[in-house]
Amino acid sequence: MTTSYGSPLLLNVVDVEATCWDGDAPPGMPCEIIEIGLTTVDLDAGERTARHRILVRPARSTVSAFCTELTGLTQAEVDGGLAFADACRELAVRHEAGRRPWASWGDYDRKQFTRQCQAAAVPYPFGARHTNAKAVFTTARGLRRRPGMAQALTLAGLPLEGRHHRGEDDAWNIAALVLDLAARGDWPREG
């Protein structure tokens, strides 16, 4: 399916990593996005065409030892990232996030962007065409419970590429699941 302009249907697959703790967050420290992974998928060609990583500097929280163990991201690394508003601008301008349909594994990423944009008074960078890839996979496979991304890759017979819980790698892997669903005719064609 191509767009009305004859160009291919491109989809942004997004995965975020956020500050997190082993247990409750410290007082006054909300979860904040620290990495945005984005893989561009050409649904017509059936391929992943680009892979991107945007590091984001948290404004009101810090990277815990637990978060570093989970994601591999350190406070020093994210201190060199963009401010959240600048990261959202990059998504909107460089990656056409407001124009392209987008997908994520579950609804966490969409909800985290919504919360953080509202809290920081930053324009939401994405358009309304979001697809919960986890829900599509669950329905297509006739599963009773929604699997995590790594389990879904195993069920689909696909390899886990890179490091799990790293936004750039997770977006790449989710894109592989999207393409598998599309090849089976199970991906919604509107994006």
Task: Determine, yes or no, domain membership for 190.
Answer: no
Task: Please give the structure tokens belonging to residue 19.
Answer: 């500050």
Instruction: Specify the pLDDT at position 189.
Output: 77
Taking only the tens place, the pLDDT of each residue in 6-46 is 567 999 999 999 999 999 999 999 999 999 999 999 999 99
For residue 78, is it within any domain?
A: yes
The C-alpha torsion from 143 through 174 and 122 to 129, rounded to 10°, is -60
Tokens 């990423």 locate to: 109
Asked if the structure places residue 189 within a domain, the reply is no
Decide if 191 is inside a domain: no
11: which 2 tokens? 């989809």
Q: Which domain holds residue 97?
A: 10-183
Residue 5 lies in a domain: no
The percent of residues above 70 in pLDDT, for the chain, comes to: 95
Give yes or no for residue 2 having a pLDDT over 60.
no
CB contact at 8 A, 62 and 20 = no
Give the pLDDT confidence score for residue 101 in this predicted structure. 97
The pLDDT value given to residue 4: 43
Cα–Cα dist 42/61, whole Å:
36
Q: Mean pLDDT over residues 99-127, rounded?
A: 97
Q: What is the count of structural domains for the chain?
A: 1
| Domain-embedded: residue 112 | yes
pLDDT digits (tens, 9 = 90+) for 152-180: 999 999 999 999 999 999 999 999 999 99
Per-residue pLDDT, averaged over 75-79, amounts to 98
CATH label of the domain that carries residue 140:
3.30.420.10
Whether 73 shows a pLDDT value over 80: the answer reads yes
Report yes or no: 146 and 106 within 8 Å, Cβ to Cβ. Answer: yes
| Average pLDDT of the chain, as a whole number | 95
The pLDDT confidence band at residue 3, using thresholds 50, 70 and 90, is: very low
Structural domain contains residue 1: no
Q: Report pLDDT for 191.
A: 46
